[in-house]
A = this chain, B = another copy of it.
Amino acid sequence: MPAITYELIKEDPQTGARAGIIHTPHGSFPTPIFMPVGTQGSVKGVSPEEVKEIGGNIILGNTYHLFLRPGSELIREMGGLHKFMNWDGAILTDSGGFQVFSLGELRKITEEGVTFRSHIDGSKKFLSPEVSMKVQMDLGSDIVMAFDECIPYPADYEYTRKSTERTTRWAKRCKEVMTSPNQGLFGIVQGGMYKDLRTKSVEDLVALDFPGYAVGGLSVGEPKELMVEILDHTVKLLPANKPRYLMGVGTADYLLEAVTHGIDMFDCVFPTRVARNGTAMTWEGRLVMKNAEFTHDTRPIEEWCDCYACRNYTRAYIRHLVRANEIFGLRLLSIHNLRFLQRFTAEMRKAIIEERFAQFRSDFLAQYHYGKK
């Protein structure tokens, strides 16, 4: 029995949207799901109990950050990331690849791996498929991501081909060293914006029989239409009995689009990052809480929200906290934004199961004004 399994509950007959359940050594959770990001062993500003209360069952940890500080060996010594951060739900860790490749000129890629300078102290570090697996085994995450190159946009065909082939070779090396029976290794499809390279990437990775697949290298600056086109092409090639994960996507409209095309899992720092900038996510779009319009507003952020912030605090109070730079305001907004995405994915799931997903989609798009409110 693999550590990670996917159970398909219902597929929408009109789109590729699907409702399912993912089983992990730290519990099962419904999909589609949004995973809050706990980059450095903490979902920024939010306690594990608060993550649970908003309905969170799985969070994401970042290999790059934890590798540099406090170091994965310390976390292993402390009993693994779950115990270290007091989180008994599931954890997915990324491979570190995305952050390392984002360092630009500070890193050097070879077949063996990537040499880079730490953003903390400038010291020379090395990540490779083997090191990434070792770090993720130290962390003890339930879902482990293969070490890949996230190809920037735009990238020419030859670069994309060579990089994607190397990502496949790296995926094989990851599989060889990831021997922990309680951790499931996901492959990451690359191939940039080239459909034939996407097809080849899927074929090669599916041959390796991972318990789940991520679609990488999307939402990296390309037009939304192109993203949807490549996503649609890629997902259709993936096996139906494995979970599908779109990395780094965390706004309602993108989640809706990706679920429509068959994606099950998401993560993004967006909801907690914009919370720290004083922005609330709602079914009607974003609210910039410091705006004067909320000065006397005694309503909660959202009338129909059941989160701690909406149950107890007015927009007027939250506006005051944001303007006064009070940490508690950022906490309330972080809780609300995470709960918003939990409710949003739960509503999509319900609509899929009740065979009214297309209607849900058009209803939502009719009322949602991204960033315009």
Neighbour of A45 across the interface among B41, B84, B320, B328, CB < 8 A: B328
A41 neighbours in B (Cβ, 8 Å): 317, 320-321, 324, 326
- CB closest chain-B residue, reference A272: B327
A23 at interface by CB-CB < 8 Å: no
Which of A70-78, A152-160, A250-258 participates in binding chain B? A70-78
Q: A157-193: which residues lie under 8 A (CB-CB) from chain B?
A: none
Which of A3-11, A213-221, A227-235, A308-316 participates in binding chain B? A308-316
A299 at interface by CB-CB < 8 Å: no
Q: A296-325: which residues lie under 8 A (CB-CB) from chain B?
A: 296, 298, 312-314, 316-317, 319-321, 323-324
Q: How many residues on A have C-beta within 8 angstroms of the other chain's C-beta atoms? A: 36
* B327 and A44 form a contact (CB under 8 A): yes
Q: A1-46: which residues lie under 8 A (CB-CB) from chain B?
A: 40-46
Mask of A33-65 contacts with B, CB within 8 angstroms, 1/0: 000000011111111000000000000000001
* A42 and B321 form a contact (CB under 8 A): yes
- CB closest chain-B residue, reference A40: B324
A78 neighbours in B (Cβ, 8 Å): 298, 314, 316-317
Q: How many copies of this chain are found per oligomer?
A: 2
* A69 and B320 form a contact (CB under 8 A): yes
* B69 and A324 form a contact (CB under 8 A): yes
In Å, the complex CA distance between A298 and B84 comes to 9
Q: A132-167: which residues lie under 8 A (CB-CB) from chain B?
A: none
Mask of A67-95 contacts with B, CB within 8 angstroms, 1/0: 00110001001100000111000000000
Can you list 28 pairs linking A and B with CB atoms under 8 Å apart?
A40-B321, A41-B320, A41-B324, A42-B321, A42-B326, A42-B327, A42-B328, A42-B329, A43-B328, A45-B327, A45-B328, A45-B331, A46-B328, A47-B328, A47-B331, A65-B324, A69-B320, A69-B323, A70-B316, A74-B316, A74-B320, A78-B316, A78-B317, A84-B314, A84-B316, A85-B317, A86-B317, A327-B331
- Measured CB to CB, the residues of A under 8 A from B are 40-47, 65, 69-70, 74, 77-78, 84-86, 295-296, 298, 312-314, 316-317, 319-321, 323-324, 326-331
